[in-house]
Chain A
Amino acid sequence: MDFAAQIAMARYERIGEILGRCMERVEKPESFSDMIDKVVLDRYLGIPVFLTLMWAVFQFAFSVSAPFSDAVDVFFSACSDWAKNTITDPQLASLIGDGIFGGLGFVLVFLPPIAFVFMALAVLEDTGYLSRAAFVMDRAMTKVGLQGKSFIPMLLGFGCNVPAIMATRTIENEIDRKITIMVNPLMSCSARLPVYILFAGVFFEKYAGAVITSMYLLGILLAALMATLFRKLVFGGKPSPLLLEMPPYTVPTLRGVFTSAWVRTRVFLKKAATVLFIGAIAIWFLSTHPWQATEGGSVVENSYAAVIGHAVEPLIRPLGLDWTAGIALFAGFMAKEIVVGTLGIVYGVGEENVASAIVSHFTPASALAMMVITLIYLPCLATIGILRQELGGWKWTGFVVAYELVLAYMVAGIVFLGCKLVGVA
């Protein structure tokens, strides 16, 4: 028990003493909150009820928000097409169409799930359930150096790491919050799924489901391992004990929910969008320049991005990956969703035929290595923007990027060599 917990305990003991002397205990009638707590804090049902409510948050945030994200995407795609068809100077058209409108679309497509996550969390918070949820999960999370409130951001990470990292704002203790943020990118977000589906479908046809599930499990295991290591080696101490006053249950108001969600979403809009937007323009520049050599951005092989792909090739060659994987991984830095599309562009086959093209560039072992790297390596640009914002600067953001790169390389190497050893080519 740490110093703060001891003070809190002593305080409560003293309060108990004073109250014992000046108050007479009478049988308190069971309140509505007591009744509900009986269910949500039930020894057997507490955790299953919590998991089902988290599933509801997940569904609300990512399924119900989907048409809004698609509307944003469709709108900016139309703007991009309009710019490219209207502006006569091809370089300016590409800058405005692909760089600016494409970049804006890429940034704002994250807005609906973020807003929906915050709406769902505001409902749980305003009803009074969130403190119960933290209590229910505390024991399991403490074992890996985190605390009860860390569970919700970790779970949301399966959808998108951006709102998940922002959801750590419910954690008051700075170190607990930092560790939760730092391991969150290891939770496999939905953007990585197309990469798993492609490679597992092509190279592990019968066992595709098991391979994809193993990627998710690997992410969870690594997050638990890294959280334990960060707690022991970097930050020290123990997860802060949960001292919670359980608020009575209330019916949330629409105004309260929307205000809370808006205040949190506005932070994303104001700060992260600036970082993201500049980053998106930078990636556009790298993948379309030198302008002459790339024939107006259509021959990616001659772009600066390709130079980077070739530059990283010696590093990824021991994992069975060539420069095309290097470009795809580099592009995946902008958003993991475009890894598959980038491979399609590089092989000149388009996204829909990329499955048949990757067979000549990957083996089952290198495909597994590629999936592992996609799971662990650099967080996407959006996540890095949020990491910088939530970790308060580049120092810890740089640390996250560095440890993920090293970890990705190590784990992918182990997987690749392990496959070779057991005879998987």
Chain B
Amino acid sequence: MRIYGSLLFILTLITGLLEISGAGIVPNDIFGGFVLLVISATFLRGIAGNEPAYFYFASLMLAVFGVLYLLVFLANGLDAVILGDEWSPASNMRPEILFIPLALPGVWLMNRVRKEVGA
């Protein structure tokens, strides 16, 4: 879990910094970048303190934002259809959407713990 958490920490940190700086292939989005940095800091806190709760919660946030950006992606497409504008899936793609599968192990573990220890 610590190794996997470390990988996700590095991934979200780099992507977050790229989003804020606007450099590279990811879209320039200051707030989106800030979100990734917070997720990255949550992973880091879990790694440093060896606290699985931080890993679970950071994975949940990664999944939530992935799904959210997927909804925004679909909404933009629908909006383009309604308004008759041009829309390209590639230019609307966000790295957070691609991170959804990476967040699933943490979310699955979290759900298992919830069922075991109770709310």
Chain A positions near chain B (C-beta within 8 angstroms):
29-33, 35-36, 38-40, 42, 44-45, 48-49, 51-52, 55-56, 59-60, 63-67, 70-71, 74, 248-250
Contact = CB atoms under 8 A, between A and B. Distances in A.
Given A35-B53, A52-B34, 16 more contacts: A32-B117, A39-B57, A45-B38, A45-B42, A49-B42, A49-B57, A52-B38, A56-B65, A56-B68, A60-B68, A60-B71, A64-B71, A64-B75, A67-B75, A70-B82, A70-B83
Interface in B54-74: 54, 56-57, 61, 64-65, 68, 71-72
Given A45-B38, A52-B38, A63 B119 contact: no
Contacts of B52: 35
A29 B117 contact: yes
A55 B68 CA distance: 11
A48 B38 contact: yes
Given A56-B65, A63-B75, A64-B72, A31 B38 contact: no
7 contacts: A29-B117, A30-B117, A35-B117, A40-B57, A52-B34, A63-B72, A64-B68
Interface residues of B, number: 32
Contact of B117 (A31, A40, A52, A67): A31
B45 A42 contact: yes
Nearest to B116: A32
The 5 closest A-B pairs by CB, nearest first: A248-B119, A35-B53, A67-B78, A67-B79, A39-B57
A35 B75 contact: no
Which interface residue of A40, A48, A51, A74 has the most chain B CB atoms within 10 A?
A48
Looking at chain A's contact residues, the main secondary structure is helix
Interface of B: 31, 34-35, 38-39, 41-42, 45, 51-54, 56-57, 61, 64-65, 68, 71-72, 75-76, 78-79, 81-83, 113-114, 117-119
Nearest to A60: B68
Nearest to B78: A67
B118 A31 contact: yes
Nearest to B49: A38
Interface centre among A29, A33, A70 (most CB of B within 10 A): A70
Nearest to B46: A39
A70 B77 CA distance: 12
Contacts of B72: 59, 63-64
Contact of A39 (B34, B54, B71): B54
Contacts of A248: 119
